[in-house]
Amino acid sequence: MRLDDEEHAMLAGELGEPRRWGMEHMLQVGRFFDADDLVPVSQAHMMADTESLGEAGVVFVEQLAAHAAANRKVRIPMITDPRGIDFDHYRTLKQTDAMAALERRAITAFEALGILMTDTCINYQTIMPPVRGEHLAYGDTGVVIYCNSVLGAYSNFEGGPSALAAGLSGRTPRYGLHLDANRKATRRFRVMHEPKGLSDWGALGAIIGQRTGSYWDIPVIEGITTQPTSDDMKHMGAAMASFGSVALFHLVGYTPDAPDIDAVCNPATLTAQDVNEADFAAFFGSYGGRGDKIDIVVFSAPQLSIIEMRQLADLLNGRKVHADTTLLAVTSPQVAVDAERFGISQRIEAAGGLVLKGMCFYQSYAREMALANGWTRLLSNSAKLVNIIGGYGYKPSLASMEDCVESAVAGEIV
């Protein structure tokens, strides 16, 4: 790989051991993916919950944080994905003091590196949305697919270690979606059933993700005639990334690189697959569970926007969550402040729900919480969450926000 003088100096350790490690890590990854050089990046976003890091990962970060300030501080604005603990509520969730202690150690180390603990996977709605053409090192697949697709930014999926390497160096290997040649559509879908509501958008993302099934394929979607919202795109993108490892989609007429189909592919050579109403029904039906007692209803993954929080509060107005059912609404620390200021969180909690901030359900020791609380049957309006959570021992079902609330009140899936 070609390196400039500053990159050579970082690799030689002249700017400290943390940056030398970062360069070495990026060269390994760059060689794997045939990168010719590194690209400067303007922001990094890191997934680093302690369930993933474990003791070994926390020790690794603490070792970086022990270096002199001049050598350890990140060189570009760097922010964090949701954490595993909301310190105000971890005992309520029956997370342990040991989990909280590990989380505190990780936070101390990240702060020593100069990282802003934003703890959010909706930074594109709340912190600083990237500009079209901006090269980034973003973690969280939902963040990456949204910023690439809806905002026209350039990022690969960067796992925590690679995002950290990018933050320390201000660079990332130039491969994959940093190259225009890799951003054209390779799969084409025609939607015959307009999504209505967030779970429908999630289902559409899941269906297209399943059919695409590769990081290296780019779907283009036609047939949408109703203006999608940011939350619609958020749920579709997060599900597409979750089910298919997809990091970029084009939605004809709505995303910036696809004003028309010709802008992203040669339509004469790319056959379209239909996504129809029966595909949606089959997708929802694959989870089942109607009539089952419900242990937990979760609104999370991605964290809720202030608009979703208000929708949820409105649906819960004057209702009471069943005594045997737990209802969690998970949002970012930034939205949580507004939600409290507007009285939204208070309305959710008056109905028996619990508002959590700065975490995400599946990044929060979900298996241990299931065992400690006796949770098995989970209901959510997030296609991404129901996809992930089965591996943690839950029986998940997918429904609209309205049906999730009705089920939470009834104590069973309606």
Partner 1 sequence: MTSIELRCHVGVGPKVDGVALVTDDNFSARYDLDRIKGIFSRPQHKLADESYVDKILVVNTAKGGVASAWMLHEMASRGMAPRAILFNRVNPILAQGAALANMAMCDRFNDGDVTNLIKTGDHVMVQPDIGLVTILRRDDR
- The most distant pair of C-alpha atoms in the chain lies apart, rounded to whole Å, by 65
Minimum CB separation from partner 1 for residue 370, in Å?
12
Minimum CB separation from partner 1 for residue 28, in Å?
4
Partners of 329 in the beta sheet? 299, 355
Residues 329-368 close enough to bind partner 1 by CB under 8 A:
362-363, 367
Handedness of CA 67, 70, 76, 80 (dihedral sign): positive
d(CA 147, CA 152): 6
Nearer to partner 1, 53 or 218 (CB): 53
Check if the beta carbon of residue 384 is closer than 8 Å to that of residue 302.
Answer: yes
25 near partner 1, rule: CB under 8 A: yes
d(CA 46, CA 137): 8
What the block records as the tokens of 77 is 């604005």
156 near partner 1, rule: CB under 8 A: yes
Check if the beta carbon of residue 126 is closer than 8 Å to that of residue 306.
Answer: no
48 near partner 1, rule: CB under 8 A: yes
Indicate which single residue of 43, 80, 162, 199 sits in contact with partner 1 (rule: CB under 8 A): 162
Indicate which single residue of 55, 88, 260, 324 sits in contact with partner 1 (rule: CB under 8 A): 55
Number of residues counted as binding partner 1 (CB under 8 A): 49
Residues 66-125 close enough to bind partner 1 by CB under 8 A:
81
Nearer to partner 1, 123 or 156 (CB): 156
Minimum CB separation from partner 1 for residue 283, in Å?
14
What the block records as the tokens of 280 is 């949606």
Nearer to partner 1, 145 or 313 (CB): 145
d(CA 335, CA 80): 15
Minimum CB separation from partner 1 for residue 162, in Å?
4
140 near partner 1, rule: CB under 8 A: yes
Residues 204-263 close enough to bind partner 1 by CB under 8 A:
209, 213-216, 241-246
Amino acid residing at 45? H
Minimum CB separation from partner 1 for residue 379, in Å?
18
Phi, psi for 8 (deg, rounded to 5): -60, -40
Indicate which single residue of 2, 5, 56, 318 sits in contact with partner 1 (rule: CB under 8 A): 56
What the block records as the tokens of 5 is 């003088």
158 near partner 1, rule: CB under 8 A: yes
| Residues 6 or more apart in contact with residue 165 via CB below 8 angstroms | 21, 22, 23, 25, 26, 172
Phi, psi for 118 (deg, rounded to 5): -80, -25
Check if the beta carbon of residue 94 is closer than 8 Å to that of residue 373.
Answer: yes
32 near partner 1, rule: CB under 8 A: yes
Decide: helix, strand or coil at residue 298: strand
285 near partner 1, rule: CB under 8 A: no
Of 254-262, 322-330, 384-392, 406-414: span binding partner 1 (CB under 8 A):
384-392
Please give the residue ranges that form the binding site for partner 1 (CB under 8 A): 25, 28-29, 31-33, 47-49, 51-57, 60, 81, 139-141, 156-162, 176, 209, 213-216, 241-246, 362-363, 367, 387-388, 390-393
